[in-house]
Amino acid sequence: MKITDIKSFLVNQYCLVRVYTDSDIVGNGEAGLWLHHRPTAQAIDDLKSYFVGKDPRLIEHHHQVVSRHAHFTGGVISAALSGIDIALWDILGKSVGLPVYQLLGGKCRDRVRVFENVRGDTYEERAESARERVSEGFSVLRMTPFFAGFEARDSTEVISTAVEMVATVRDTIGDGVDLGLEIHRNLTPDEAITLATELKPFKLKFYEDPLPPESVEAHEYIAKHVDIPMALGERSYNIFQFKELVDKKIAAFLRPDVSVAGGFTQVKKIAAIAEPAFIQIFPHLMGSPVNNAAFTHLAASIPNYFVMECQAHTEAQDSIVDRPYEVRNGYREIVDRPGIGVEINEDALEALPFKDREITGNFWADGGVRH
């Protein structure tokens, strides 16, 4: 079997990948560097010159060749290679008539737990959103504990508002539901420590990305003062970055993105190096129904999986694939179809023009750029 072509598709908010072979098997994948899909699509097109003519089943070998060639790295290259990697595993599964999770070692669970987000512009709206999500069957909720415009407010007000918001939601849902916070890298070390101290009574499951990811040293510093388990790594794009997080003992949860951090080939390894440290895998999931399918296979096949986004789509977005995966009572169903279990419908893509994401900033009251 040989690869005959690779195509990238910029569709809606997504960068999709299809790998074609001379055996009439087509692999489906997705690259997840969501703010920079155009350069990622270009990188996929550039990588085609290496892959065409090669055996698609030599997945690990191809990853080593491409990632080590000249040792140029970065999010764009890794996302492009991730999308292709997912498609190659899809081809391998179809070629032997097995779902990808079987090729990765078989199922570790019968269904995959997912979470939903709590939203609202007032405390009351947040409480009602949480109540609705629990009634839908979700046992894990996540919330960003800030209202719009918080960036320009003083730290004390931001922290006080966040504490009241968490208290309101916890009082609404009780202790029978896991609640975690997505900070979106919006705090300084002093704010992250103060907020975590105030939130200790509310039994939070995770404290996600309290700081920008660039400084491991800053995370080491706050880890000495923060008693909420931290979830880190959604912006990391290679196994070496994740190894540093494991070695530094600062994360209870790692957040690799299969469509950014090296596809199945690398994220399976990331889960493996986390496992002996009792670190759970909390994948970062954005993208189309293709990513929903691919991430489900990863989650099914690793023992230390925790949870991932539910990520519901519109009917038009679901039309990208033939049979999108379903969520029931807070769990995504695992299907037994070969490969990743979905087929990209190229005819449907024309109806979903690509949408560029605007680059915006977060600003302090004095006009300076916040993280």
Three-state secondary structure readout of 263-294: HHHHHHHHHHHHHHHCCEECCCCCCCHHHHHH
Residue 161 lies in a domain: yes
Average of pLDDT values for 201-213? Answer: 97
Q: Quick one: which of 254, 247, 321, 249 has its CA closest to 290?
A: 321
Statement to judge: residues 244 and 325 lie in one domain: yes
Antiparallel, parallel or unpaired: β 327-328 and 207-208: unpaired
- More reliable by pLDDT, 52 or 367: 52
Flag whether 362 is in a domain.
no
Same domain, 174 and 261: yes
Are 122 and 245 within one domain? yes
| Domain limit, last residue, from 30, 65, 98 | 98
Based on the fold, state whether residues 210 and 285 are members of the same structural domain: yes
Q: Residue range 115-126: average pLDDT?
A: 98
Query: What does each C-alpha distance from 120 to 28, 61, 181, 266 come to in angstroms?
Result: 36, 48, 15, 37
Is-contact 267 298, C-beta < 8 A?
yes
Same domain as 135, residue 18: no
Residue 10 vs residue 368, higher pLDDT: 10
Give the strands of the sheet with 3-11, arranged side by side: 3-11, 14-21, 26-31
Residue 188 lies in a domain: yes
115 shares a domain with 221 = yes
Could you tell me if 46 and 184 lie in one domain? no
Say if CB 89 and CB 59 are below 8 A apart: yes
Instruction: Note whether 24 and 146 are same-domain residues.
Output: no
- The count of domains in the chain is 2
308 and 200 share a domain?
A: yes
What's the mean pLDDT in 340-365?
A: 90
Q: Can you tell me the mean pLDDT for 348-369? A: 87
Residue 76 sits in the same domain as residue 145 = no
CATH of the domain at 130: 3.20.20.120
Instruction: Tell me: do 58 and 127 sit in the same domain.
Output: no
Q: Are residues 250 and 310 in the same domain?
A: yes
Residue 358: pLDDT band by 50, 70, 90 thresholds? confident
In a domain, 356, yes or no: no
The average pLDDT across 191-200 equals 97
295 burial via Cβ count (<10 Å: 0-12, 13-18, 19+): buried
Does 48 fall in a domain? yes
Q: Are 159 and 120 in contact (CB under 8 A)?
A: no
Q: Long-range pairs for 237-240 at CB < 8 Å and ≥24 separation?
A: 237/73, 237/74, 237/75, 237/78, 237/79, 237/261, 237/262, 238/67, 238/73, 238/78, 238/262, 238/266, 239/266, 239/269, 239/270, 239/273
Could you tell me if residue 346 is inside a domain? no
pLDDT digits (tens, 9 = 90+) for 127-145: 999 999 999 999 999 999 9
256-295 pLDDT per residue, tens: 999 999 999 999 999 999 999 999 999 999 999 999 999 9
**Residue 221 within a domain:** yes
Q: Domain containing 327: what range?
A: 102-339
With contact defined as beta carbons under 8 Å apart, do 25 and 91 qualify? Answer: yes
**Is the pLDDT score of 368 beyond 90?**
no
Confidence of residue 364 (pLDDT cuts 50, 70, 90): confident
Q: Is residue 258 part of a domain?
A: yes
Find the mean pLDDT for residues 184-204. 96
Q: CA-based angle 266:270:275, to the nearest 5?
A: 145
Question: CATH number for the domain including 49?
Answer: 3.30.390.10
What's the gap between Cα 174 and its chain centre?
Answer: 27
